[in-house]
Chain A
């Protein structure tokens, strides 16, 4: 799509180790295409970050088990890293549950939609619903509502 260049010039891109392990390929109309993350990492265009098990466990312990279980391990690790480095990172996601968790934690400023990312680098384009700013805001609000109604957090 020719997006890596402009994006990596403007942003530091970090991926959690679990997510990078999962991001092996994508499917296009021409079949399965493998993603060569190693070359992007070697070029310094992507940094792989990881969280210790103790840190993820501490993150997990902030939530009701039922709430934590809705996240996949890649997101759990990404959110753990995000909260550790919150002064530096913003989480770009298309997952409602990520926005809900951040809304619940009162950390709405730590996430960004892909639509906003594109806009900031001058690549304004139509994106699917989960990548929109409206999607992000909707689920941040739902997370905030969970917090008000005392759902999800243990603390």
Chain B
């Protein structure tokens, strides 16, 4: 495939117009048209600017190979500028994978997987799966506090925080090359991100069960799949026994105050609504009383503002600590250049150089031997 074809493909894939490309690169629309129509070749400097805007590696454009099949991204709700967001997300996944290869750092644990030959999959299976994951990953009695760290550090799930609309939205991707990856919204509250993280984790684990391993392009989960993901999320973030114990500590005569609900939500780092639905299921209120639970939620919503004012954490860092640590390690091992580190961490070259000057900090040792 020619360079011209790849340039056109990459621009169209991000959904950018010629005028948007001009604003971001300084390359005029007529020049861009000439590049895309094979009338003229860009300089390497121009190609680099275009590669940056399209979120592709230089090698993507230099290769004569056909365009590899794009990794599928599953959106709960596809935003208007999905192409650009996906390009940023998949570039992050590719870079993260590169760093793992260059530093020979593999995550110690693989995510469990539900395959297509697993038979029927309903609420019971979603709940059992949540319990298996909870045990396997040793998430503890308050999983909301540990899930992100365990997924990143132990399972090597690549979690990117990015800003996009609408805020209550997230995405995930799975590939044979980089494994599982989750895109969370920086604009969402922490407990909302916890919910999204567990929800997307369900999609990663059941990807092959519902969509097969060869899915590509943009995927949308079915309504049934979403309901199962919600059930999985509630079971994973609020394991039955610790949850029951937290409720009963605050309940009297089978009743709990709004303040008590808030305390439980804070303890498990989830929303009050999630707590109320979890009460519904853990205490076996059944489908016949769903409307009653909905009415209770509506009633509590009137007072929501009094209770949801939890101290919000500062915006999460865009890149995970593990990703940054791998990038710095690769630099200090001499496996990547300062310029590459600057690109990968989206910092200036001078900031990147500081990591190299502090090289000694990474190789000094302490002894932990007992004798």
B39-68 toward A: CB 8 Å interface, digit per residue (1/0)? Answer: 001111101110100000111001000000
Q: Interface residue tally of chain B, by bracket?
A: 35 or more
> Cα distance A51–B47 when bound, in Å?
12
Asked if A129 contacts B340 (CB within 8 A), the reply is no
For A, the interface residue count at a CB cutoff of 8 angstroms equals 38
Asked if A97 contacts B337 (CB within 8 A), the reply is yes
CB-nearest residue of chain B to A130: B356
* A residues at B contact (CB < 8 Å): 17-18, 21-22, 25-27, 50-53, 56-57, 60, 65-66, 68-77, 94-100, 128-130, 139, 142
**A128-B44 CB under 8 A given contacts A26-B350, A96-B334:** no
Asked if A75 contacts B57 (CB within 8 A), the reply is no
**A94-B62 CB under 8 A given contacts A27-B350, A73-B48, A77-B44:** no
B227-254 toward A: CB 8 Å interface, digit per residue (1/0)? Answer: 0000000000000000000000000000
Asked if B343 contacts A17 (CB within 8 A), the reply is no
> Is B338 close to A, CB under 8 A?
yes
Chain A hits for B47, CB < 8 A: 53
**A72-B357 CB under 8 A given contacts A22-B349, A50-B43, A139-B334:** no
Asked if A56 contacts B48 (CB within 8 A), the reply is no
CB-nearest residue of chain A to B341: A72
Asked if A129 contacts B350 (CB within 8 A), the reply is no
Chain B hits for A18, CB < 8 A: 44-45, 48
Query: A130: shortest Cβ distance to chain B, in Å?
Result: 5
Chain A hits for B70, CB < 8 A: none
> Cα distance A71–B356 when bound, in Å?
16
> Cα distance A139–B331 when bound, in Å?
12
The 3 nearest A-B residue pairs measured at CB: A96-B334, A72-B339, A95-B337
